[in-house]
Structure 1
Amino acid sequence: MEQLVGGLATSVLALFCFLAVVITALLSVVGVGIVLAPYVVKLVHLVADRERARLSESGPELISPGPGPPQLWDALRHRETQHELFWVAVHAFSGFVLGLTGLILVLSSVRDGTFPLWWHLLPEGGAAPTLDLWTVRDFPGALAVGLLGVGWLFVAVGVLPAMARLQGFPGRSLLRPGPDTDLALRIAHLSAARAAALDAHSTELRRIERALHDGAQNRLVAVNVLVGAARRAVSRGSDDADEFLGRAQDAAETALAELRLVVRSILPPVLADRSLSDALDALAATSPVPCRIEADLPGRYAASVEATVYFIVAEALTNIAKHSRATRAEIELRREEDLLWLRITDDGRGGAAEGPGSGVGGIRARVEAHDGTFALASPAGGPTVLTVRVPCGL
């Protein structure tokens, strides 16, 4: 239903664009439309990009080919512009009809399903089901309307997914970039992904270096100093040697614990011993915020991909616990063709933003390093929804 309503919204925009195109074409006869035409073409491109973004949320990503040629006649001969104009004409009517039909179907099921609860509040002779098939005069008639509402609900559950696919078909067919554009965009996208991967690798190396330098190395230096002090105490026959050795042992144990943490941050052992779903269950169990996980993952995936998903969830849960004031979080993970689809939702105060050095920025870097996609929606007041798609790596 959400997809149909979103398609209904873009169909209204497409309808305005279609009217603008028709009016501009008529005004071109007297010369005025030629001045307006470049702006109308830009408007069509903006609405088409909005549809691309909507369809990318529920399926394979549709990459925008970018603005067309600046000159009007070149733009009209441009393949992508022609497809966008054709899409506007089709979606303005088919998308509107399908979206409105789906909305009416849902509202009818709600209205008729609850009809027995309030039908007696209507004036006499004015109580009837949505389609006005008969006049309700008693409770058995109202109950029959309620059963009709249940029927509408079953029909809605059965046909709405197909209607959503049908509504999105023109966009998926017409708004794809051409082969040449797609190749150029793919090269640029892979170049950006390679740069992100190198940046993420450098950041990870610096993190490990800091962890070793500031933690384990300092502990080992302390062990060395304490052992030296213990040897000098033994040579002097002092009773302090045992104390120095005890402190050295404590420092060595602390260094070992910090080394284990560094090793686990590189590749958590739980991923090697158990599945990704089990590893995420372990993360959720230790989260300060109550967390529900719904994971449907057949088989195993590349170790780097599983580690990336694991660290994304770990970073997100840490951010939720620190900043969101949320009372619960939900994690959904499943496979969509050759992608792992991950969505993390919390009911916190919202307002999460991506900034330099932020946890959200680190998540984006990890995702883009794997040529994945990242989306964050966090309006003020919440909820915050983080959506990630990562290639499976198979």
Structure 2
Amino acid sequence: MTTIETKSEARRAGRGARNVGLAAVRGLALALISLPGAVLCFSLPLVSVALIPVGIGIVTTPWVLTGVRMFADWRRLLAAQWGGVRIQRAYRPLPEGANPWARTFGMLRDPATWRDFLWLPVDMTAGFVTALLAFCLPLYPLEGFVIAAGLWRVWSDTYWYGFVPVSDQTTALYAAALGAVLLVAAYWLTPRLLDAHFRLTGAVLGSHQGELAERVRVLTETRRDAVDTSAAELRRIERDLHDGAQARLVAMGMDLGTIEVLLEKDPAKARELLAQARRSSADALTELRELVRGIHPPVLAERGLGDAVRALALRLPVTTEVDVDLRGRAQAPVEAAAYFAVSEILTNAVKHSGADRIWIDAHHADGQLRVSVTDNGKGGAVSAAGSGLAGVERRLGTFDGVLAVSSPAGGPTMVTMEIPCALS
């Protein structure tokens, strides 16, 4: 092993020892906080609530419950700073200027208050034990080493260290060996015990209302994006019909009117206009087909997502490999969203990546439709606002889908989409 590797191992060992020592100190602090604080915060509200019928509790209960909330908030702060566990705070706001009666029963009707009451007994028992063990585990092995150093001579009778009876120097060395084993176990267990303490606090004290609020916010945004996208799509269809097929049909109607006049006067000119009208009708039909394909491709409706993606790949000017494993079909809106997302990603790859090879993989597993598009281009693709990928992300968000982009400079670029769905 080189000198650099030796120093690196020493630094890692030093950091590990410091982490264990820090976890032990924090465990002691939490143990000193948990038991008396939880007992006090649990007993005072019980006494105060019991005094409500005689009127005293109406005045004292809001102050006592405010103190309980302050203690819980402090523990939330410690969980975030010491354990990286963020615990949502979801107390209901009280009306401004509420009288003591309204404040008392408003706080007692709050579900978060009862979560606090449920957490306090857990904190004074299991929480106290996990915190105290995090402190004691690194210290207990030291006792074995001190015994082996000669402390065993202080006791006239046999002294038990763990399951080792210490009565002479040999058994004292056995105690030191047990202490070494326990020290290795403490090195691994102490940070995990502290983590278990914070996770237990989060599991009992935490609220899922914050997650639900975030979920509502995301759904509101995706619904708004879906409405905006639908309105924009309708305007595009109207514009394409007005400027394309409708204009050609109007021109064809005018040509047919002219032909009626020229049939007897100038048959040659009438035949020329007939040929022009036939071309106009063919062009209008082509435009209508393209428009329908843009709304919902016939191959997608008839053959499903796999064949529709293969048809997209055949039209690309880049060598494309397609691997599809879909044992059934998703709902039509999901297939359409996935199809147009793949189409947009492929268009971006052809226009901007400079790739000469593209791979498409589509499969369904664990209730998720997963489609990934990979190219060997220059990379640098981002899902920023205003980009085509941002539009794809909004389209997928309507169906609770997600988009992940991996595109380091120099490539390759992999764009992966997931949409939760079931196959028929």
CA contact (8 A) 2:381 2:407 kept: yes
Encode CA deviations 1:164-197: one digit per residue, 9 max, x unaligned: xxxxxx9xx9999852222212211211121121
Checking the alignment, whether the CA contact within 8 Å between 1:341 and 1:387 is kept in structure 2 is yes
Structure-2 residue corresponding to 1:325: 354
1:150 counterpart residue number: none
The yes-or-no answer on 1:211 pairing with 2:247 is: no
Q: 1:79 to 1:289 in 2, by over 3 A?
A: farther
Quick check: 1:279 aligned with 2:308?
yes
- Report the aligned-residue RMSD: 3.6
- Is this contact kept in 2: 1:76–1:82, CA < 8 A? no
**Alpha-carbon displacement from aligned partner over 1:186-243 (angstroms, at most 9, x marks no partner):** 2112111211211221222122222212211121122122222222323644531111
What is residue 267 of structure 1 aligned with on the other side? 296
Return the alpha-carbon distance in structure 1 between the equivalents of residues 271 and 370 of structure 2.
Answer: 57
Cα deviation for residue 359 of structure 1 reads 2.5
Relative distance call for 1:298 and 1:215 in structure 2 (3 A) is: same
Work out the CA distance in 1 between the residues paired with 2:71 and 2:320.
Answer: 54
Provide the residue aligned with 2:322 in structure 1. 293
Whether 2:274 is the aligned partner of 1:240: answer no
Cα separation, partners in 2 of 1:392 and 1:186, compared to 1, 3 Å: same
Aligned-partner Cα distance in 2 for 1:301–1:276: 8
Give the counterpart letter for 2:350 in structure 1. A
Instruction: Note closer, same or farther for the CA distance 1:205–1:22 as it changes in structure 2 (3 Å cut).
Output: farther
Give the conservation status (yes or no) of the 8 Å contact 1:332–1:344. Answer: yes
Q: Quick check: 2:79–2:85 contact (8 Å CA) kept in 1?
A: no
What is the SS of the residue equivalent to 2:84? helix
Measured in 2, the distance between the counterparts of 1:79 and 1:231 equals: 90
Q: What letter matches 1:363 in structure 2?
A: V
Secondary structure at 2:234's aligned position in 1?
A: helix
Structure 1 residues 355 and 181, CA, compared in 2 at 3 Å: closer, same or farther? closer
Q: In the alignment, is the contact (CA less than 8 A) between 1:200 and 1:369 conserved in 2?
A: no
Amino acid paired to 1:370: F
Unaligned runs of 5+ in 2: 1-11, 30-69, 87-195
Q: Which residue among 170, 176, 179 is the counterpart of 2:208?
A: 179
Q: Report the AA paired with residue 328 of structure 2.
A: G
**For residues 389 and 286 of structure 2, what CA distance do their matches in structure 1 show?**
28
Please give the alpha-carbon distance, in whole angstroms, between the structure 1 residues aligned to 2:316 and 2:83.
Answer: 47
1:366/1:83 CA distance change after superposition, 3 Å: farther
SS of corresponding position for 1:240: helix
Long gaps (5+) in structure 1 = 1-11, 30-70, 88-169
Distance 1:288 1:316 in 2: 14
Q: Structure 2 vs 1, CA of residues 76 and 206 (structure 1 numbering), >3 Å: closer, same or farther?
A: farther
Give the Cα–Cα distance (whole angstroms) in 2 for the partners of residues 381 and 348 of structure 1.
Answer: 7
SS at match of 1:315: helix
Change (3 A) 1:216 1:341: same
SS at match of 1:370: coil
Structure 1 Cα separation of the partners of residues 406 and 263 of structure 2:
65
Aligned partner of 1:198 in structure 2 is: 227
For residues 179 and 298 of structure 1, what CA distance do their matches in structure 2 show? 36
Q: Structure 2 vs 1, CA of residues 86 and 218 (structure 1 numbering), >3 Å: closer, same or farther?
A: closer
SS in 1 for 2:289: helix
| Identical pairs, percent | 40
Change (3 A) 1:21 1:288: farther
Q: Does 1:312 align with 2:311?
A: no
Letter in 1 for 2:281: A
Q: Which residue is equivalent to 1:391?
A: 420
**TM-score, structure 2 as length reference:** 0.53
TM-score, reference length from structure 1: 0.56
Mark the CA change 1:365 to 1:80 in structure 2 (over 3 Å): closer, same or farther: farther
Q: How does 1:23-38 map to 2 (within 5 A)?
A: none
Q: Tell me the equivalent position of 1:189.
A: 218
Cα separation, 2, equivalents of 1:199 and 1:345:
29
What is the CA distance between 1:265 and its match in structure 2?
1.4
Structure 2: distance between partners of 1:206 and 1:385: 32
Q: 1:294 to 1:239 in 2, by over 3 A?
A: closer
Deviates more, 1:378-387 or 1:323-332: 378-387
The residue aligned with 1:74 is 73
